[in-house]
């Protein structure tokens, strides 16, 4: 489905949870850099002034009545895009670390390459994780290796929040259980035969707010995502076997 002008309909979705200090700047930057794309904010049950700020910005907002987590917020965005008949969905984080000016360039690559998922990657160019704290670096190496072993394709930045998805993957993702839309989803998609790739982007330092991973969350993250990654791999092969 395309718009009446014949151009693909593209939705930019930004999950947001308690980002009152950055959300206005991010919305304005996205509006300025990609005026031809629709924008929706997925407010994941914020308890600060985020919702009021979004209302003042007159931006379309999908509000969860309670906090469901990052993965579920992304899933809501996918369902919204599917229900709205969009051709592609672009997701980015609301913490101001992504540069909205990267979106247009990434989308041009995405459109030209006929990809199913394109990841805005911090590491695909240098192929090293030198600037990342040690524990995070270990996690990134681990999940990059797991995806590589299971699918034969190395993804250097499995946890990037900047992604572009074609509507071909909407059905596959709208109903699947996933936690963070990281290695577990990428493995499932690649093993299912979808075309996933990375393109370099610059990610700025986080100036406000806290990371979504508390120390307990970080401990939980590895086994959960590893388990789901393995499961996604098995699921993809079972589906292929049945088809």
Chain positions contacting other proteins, by CB under 8 A = 40, 42, 55, 58-66, 68, 72, 75-76, 79-80, 83, 177, 179, 220, 223-224, 227-228, 231, 234-235
Nearest distance from residue 123's CB to other proteins, in Å? Answer: 26
Nearest distance from residue 178's CB to other proteins, in Å? Answer: 9
Nearest distance from residue 235's CB to other proteins, in Å? Answer: 6
d(C-alpha 190, C-alpha 232), whole Å: 10
Q: Please, which residue, 65 or 210, has the CB nearer to other proteins?
A: 65
CA distances from 202 to 19, 52, 54, 68, 125 (A): 21, 30, 26, 28, 10
* Residues in the chain, overall count: 243
Do residues 180 and 71 make contact, with C-beta atoms less than 8 angstroms apart? yes
Q: Please, which residue, 60 or 126, has the CB nearer to other proteins?
A: 60
d(C-alpha 184, C-alpha 158), whole Å: 9
Q: Please, which residue, 77 or 201, has the CB nearer to other proteins?
A: 77
**Cα 185-190-192 angle, rounded to 5 deg:** 95
Nearest distance from residue 81's CB to other proteins, in Å? Answer: 10
d(C-alpha 216, C-alpha 195), whole Å: 34
Phi (first) and psi of residue 98, to 5 degrees: -85, 150
Q: Please, which residue, 171 or 220, has the CB nearer to other proteins?
A: 220
Q: Please, which residue, 81 or 201, has the CB nearer to other proteins?
A: 81
Cα end-to-end distance, the chain, whole Å? 26
Q: Please, which residue, 89 or 201, has the CB nearer to other proteins?
A: 89
d(C-alpha 137, C-alpha 197), whole Å: 21
**Cα 139-179-107 angle, rounded to 5 deg:** 85
Nearest distance from residue 112's CB to other proteins, in Å? Answer: 31
Q: Where are the alpha helices (DSSP H) in the chain?
A: 23-33, 50-56, 70-83, 101-113, 134-151, 170-174, 183-191, 215-242
Q: Please, which residue, 1 or 66, has the CB nearer to other proteins?
A: 66
Do residues 173 and 72 make contact, with C-beta atoms less than 8 angstroms apart? no
Nearest distance from residue 229's CB to other proteins, in Å? Answer: 10
Nearest distance from residue 234's CB to other proteins, in Å? Answer: 7
């Amino acid at each position: 489905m395309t718009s009446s002008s014949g151009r693909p309909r593209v939705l930019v979705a930004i999950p947001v949870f308690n980002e009152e200090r950055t959300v206005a700047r991010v919305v304005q930057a996205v509006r300025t850099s990609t005026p031809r794309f629709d924008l929706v904010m997925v407010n994941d049950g914020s308890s600060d002034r985020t919702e009021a700020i979004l209302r003042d910005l007159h931006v379309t907002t999908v509000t969860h009545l309670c906090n469901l987590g990052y993965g579920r917020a992304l899933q809501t965005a996918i369902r919204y895009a599917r229900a709205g008949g969009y051709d592609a969905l672009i997701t980015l984080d609301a913490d101001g670390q992504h540069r909205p000016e990267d979106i247009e360039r990434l989308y041009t690559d995405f459109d030209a390459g006929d990809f199913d998922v394109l990841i805005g990657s911090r590491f695909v160019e240098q192929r090293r994780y030198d600037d990342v704290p040690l524990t995070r670096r270990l996690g990134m190496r681990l999940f990059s290796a797991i995806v590589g072993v299971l699918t034969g394709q190395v993804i250097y930045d499995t946890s990037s929040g900047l992604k572009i998805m074609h509507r071909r993957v909407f059905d596959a993702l709208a109903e699947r259980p996933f936690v963070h839309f990281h290695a577990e989803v990428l493995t499932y998609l690649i093993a299912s035969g979808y075309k996933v790739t990375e393109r370099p982007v610059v990610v700025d330092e986080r100036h406000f707010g806290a990371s979504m991973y508390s120390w307990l969350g970080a401990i939980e993250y590895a086994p959960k995502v590893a388990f789901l990654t393995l499961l996604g791999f098995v699921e993809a092969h079972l589906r292929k076997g049945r088809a």
